[in-house]
Amino acid sequence: MASKDCRHSSHDCLSWLLTQPLLVKRPYLALIGVFDSGVGGLSILDEALRQLPEHNYIYLADSINAPYGERSSEWIANRSMELCQYLAAQGCDAIMVACNTATAEAIANIRHELSNIPIIGVEPGIKPAAMQSSNGIVGVLATEATLKSDKFSDLLATLPNCQFVKQAGAGLVPLIEAGQANSEETLELLAQHLEPIQEAGADTLVLGCTHYPFLRKAIRKLLGDSINLIDTSEAVVRQLKRKLESQEKHLDHEESGSIKFISSKDAQKLHHMARELMQSDLDEHSIQSQVVSSFT
């Protein structure tokens, strides 16, 4: 567009500007990768679709290896790196490690290896829980691997004035993966895990695994409405939004609002579970499903 010297007549300048073609900024459309050991990260994807519905998503579930929480640190780190490298190779502009266990064990190395794109992880909401607790007693329900990680220990060390009642949720993830989030079996197992937290008098409970927001109904049934439930999915997606907005490159994806479900085991089941567990209306999005057996 040609320039015009408007120093002498603001009226002429305005008239000239009105004759120029309007430059409309194209929408910022990113391809966002989201990965978890299974369906837990759907809680993060659900929130992402609420805040950022116009973007495109690849959801990768490593269901054949779920759950991660009982595997070795080395295995988790290597597998998480492999999956993130795969998502980067698919052209993702940002990657969400939607797994607390993978975040605790691998995210530092992933960020170092894939330094050219934003990598957003999820951590138990320890700090907001400490702020919301009235009596300073906070329960933390998470996987064994998360609770034993150095990253989690370092986080607790920053809040010495709060009592944290740590409880591994062994067996819960396989039940959620099997579509049994609200079954009697899940309710009984959950009651066992929550008993020490309840007996300690905790008034706040951290959902320290992305699978656990799908247990909200069961937790409320057992503990009532008075306990604070801390789920960091909203804050995690806000962080993703900030990262995308700060990128200087202009993304040029023609599609808008597409979702591709990739599973290492059963993509159709993953798609079905997404419709069962998520609150977002998936019919508003273009959906694909794919099984991938090798990510190298």
Annotated ligand binding at 211? The verdict is: yes
Q: Are 118 and 244 in contact (CB under 8 A)?
A: yes
Active-site choice (84, 92, 162, 209): 209
Distance from C-alpha of 267 to C-alpha of 264, rounded to nearest angstrom: 8
Active-site choice (84, 92, 99, 162): 99
**99 is known as an active-site residue:** yes
Please state the φ and ψ torsions of residue 230, each to the nearest 5 degrees. -105, 115
**92 is known as an active-site residue:** no
Annotated ligand binding at 296? The verdict is: no
Q: Are 256 and 56 in contact (CB under 8 A)?
A: yes
Annotated ligand binding at 158? The verdict is: no
Annotated ligand binding at 101? The verdict is: yes
Angle at 282 between CA 277 and CA 286, to 5 degrees: 140
Which residues, 6+ apart, have CB-to-CB distance to 98 below 8 Å? 34, 35, 36, 40, 41, 43, 44, 45, 122, 210, 236
Residues in the chain: 296
Annotated ligand binding at 280? The verdict is: no
Active site residues: 99, 209
Binding residues: 36-37, 68-69, 100-101, 210-211
Binding residues for substrate: 36-37, 68-69, 100-101, 210-211
